[in-house]
Chain A
Amino acid sequence: GAVVSQHPSWVICKSGTSVKIECRSLDFQATTMFWYRQFPKQSLMLMATSNEGSKATYEQGVEKDKFLINHASLTLSTLTVTSAHPEDSSFYICSAPPRTGVTDTQYFGPGTRLTVL
């Protein structure tokens, strides 16, 4: 199957700092990528849809000014958590469908564990 990578795999930061998480599609091009957040023992909650070359679409209740998404190329999307606070500590996972506009399987990255002190 298609491979999606994330970097870093884990990060610890101080409250008030910003953290950038990268999501890369390694063997296919992804015009769309999705960002999810997962709290302990809970399921994945969609945060936003990242579109190459255009603005991201955010789910209701997700602050677009706090979670900045940039999809600058067909293989890279970044999520920046600005002015992070302890409540932002979570497992952030990205995914991408290998084909656009067609119902298809999404392949997930390994996730990034963010801990804000």
Chain B
Amino acid sequence: EDQVTQSPEALRLQEGESSSLNCSYTVSGLRGLFWYRQDPGKGPEFLFTLYSAGEEKEKERLKATLTKKESFLHITAPKPEDSATYLCAVQGGDNNDMRFGAGTRLTVKP
């Protein structure tokens, strides 16, 4: 069965303090690994899709990387507006649905 584990559960950073969020996964035949941002009371907002080990994608202060076992979401010089829950999900095998991790709640203090 597909499994996604995110760590840490919560992360508090000072503005400008770079860090990384981890997503470890077990899936049969990975077709895609997805990162989403979710603000309270809202639906997830798409950030990145990674398809194969070694792939990297960047968007503003965020950079996502992928290995065969895990993905990292690196946040460089975060700002308070980056505060949100970051969700990781995988899609594998013949399934089109996604399996989500529990998320990392990021708080960036000014």
**Could you list which residues of chain A lie within 8 angstroms of chain B, going by C-beta atoms?**
1, 4, 6, 32, 34, 41-46, 49, 91, 93, 95, 97, 100-101, 103-111, 113
Contacts and interface: CB of A to CB of B under 8 A. Distances in A.
Interface string B16-38: 00000000000000011010100
Contacts of B98: 34, 46, 95, 106
27 contacts: A1-B46, A41-B105, A43-B100, A43-B102, A44-B87, A44-B100, A45-B100, A46-B98, A46-B99, A49-B96, A49-B97, A91-B41, A93-B43, A95-B43, A95-B98, A97-B96, A103-B31, A103-B32, A103-B49, A103-B91, A104-B32, A104-B49, A105-B32, A105-B34, A106-B46, A108-B46, A110-B42
A111 B44 CA distance: 9
A105 B46 contact: yes
A107 B46 contact: yes
Contacts, number: 57
A103 B103 CA distance: 22
B32 A93 contact: no
Contact of A105 (B49, B99, B102, B103): B49
Contacts of B49: 103-105
Contacts of B51: 103
A106 B87 CA distance: 13
Interface residues of B, number: 23
Contacts of B96: 32, 49, 97, 100-101
B101 A43 contact: yes
Given A34-B97, A43-B102, A97-B96, A108 B43 contact: yes
B103 A43 contact: yes
Contact of B41 (A1, A32, A34, A111): A111
Contacts of A113: 41
Contacts of A109: 43
Interface in B52-110: 87, 91, 96-103, 105
Quick one: which of B34, B43, B103 has the most chain A CB within 10 A?
B43
A49 B98 CA distance: 11
